[in-house]
Amino acid sequence: MAGHSKWAQIKRTKAVVDAKRGAVFTRIGREITVAARAGADPAGNFQLRTAIAKAKAAGVPAANIERAIAKGSGQGGSGSELENMRYEGYAPGGVAVLVEALSDNRNRTAADLRLTFSKNDGNLGESGCVSYLFDHRSEVRIAARPHPDGTPSGIQEEVLLEGLLELDAEGYQLEGDGQEAVVHGRFEALEALQDGLRDKGWVVLEWGHTWHPLTAAVVDRAETAQQCLKLLEGLEALDDVSSVSTNLEIPESVQTSLTSR
């Protein structure tokens, strides 16, 4: 939606800083461990390839990746105690928040989440209270191949559209002044979608499953927006949390006032 800054975009601007935190390495290591349960060879395990690609993008050392794979595949201790969990709640202003976690202690994770929501004027709700506001889908971020002289190439929409007609895609959105695009499709289509985009010559930057908001909660008061961001950042800082999704949108005018504080 033009004229607004979404949480996903705000997070990308923080990615370099966040990647330096040990919590990010721990989080991605757990994802690798769980993915490796289905096999230690990335060539035959798409979930593991995805987790490894995420780890490399975040700068996780190769030794950490290898240890996580060994643990998940039963070669270096058991990783079977980790389980996927989903929690739902509200940020200030009625903004929907959906949290996914990987944890070996459900009680600890729930207590940490409840405390973080409470400290930041939010509420941890019941299962299903906000998930209906999201579409769980596949997303692949792509860029065009650079020119022979190394300068960036913009996304040519007509070329992209023509290619998407042959793939299991449902839509796309240009980002970064047209230098990148996010292509999305059904939850089950992730592997085929990213493989197909590569085959058509696009540079695949990242891919994964996301909870995409179906409606936006526009927060136009700077104080409320600041409270929401503080809650979301607090949730992301928790070791057990693997992803945080929200329908928060902040108008650019409010976003500007926040950065000037």
Assigned token pair, 169: 């895609």
List the chain domain ranges: 4-72, 82-261
pLDDT in tens, 191-204: 999 999 999 999 99
Q: What mean pLDDT do residues 139-144 have? A: 94
- Tell me which H or E stretch contains 114: helix 106-119
Token readout for 246 is 């929200």
Q: How far apart are CA 24 and CA 58, in angstroms?
A: 8
Give Rg (Cα) of the chain.
Answer: 19
Domain 82-261 in CATH 3.40.50.10140? The answer is: no
Distances (CA, A) of 18 to 22, 60, 98: 9, 12, 20
Predicted confidence (pLDDT) per residue in 158-195, tens digit:
999 999 999 989 999 998 889 999 999 999 999 999 99
For residue 228, is pLDDT > 70? yes
- Residues 93-141 have pLDDT tens digits of 999 999 999 998 999 999 999 999 999 999 999 999 999 999 999 999 9
Query: Can you give the pLDDT at residue 26?
Result: 84
User: Do 47 and 35 meet the contact criterion of CB atoms below 8 Å apart?
Assistant: yes
Structure-token pair, residue 109 = 């994770």
The predicted model gives 215-225 an average pLDDT of 94
pLDDT of residue 1: 29
Q: Given this model, what pLDDT does residue 2 score?
A: 34
d(CA 148, CA 239): 43
In this structure, the strands spanning 248-251 and 217-218 are parallel
Instruction: Categorize the per-residue pLDDT at 5 as very low, low, confident or very high, splitting at 50, 70 and 90.
Output: very low
CATH class name, domain 4-72: mainly alpha
Residue with the larger pLDDT of the pair 68 and 3: 68
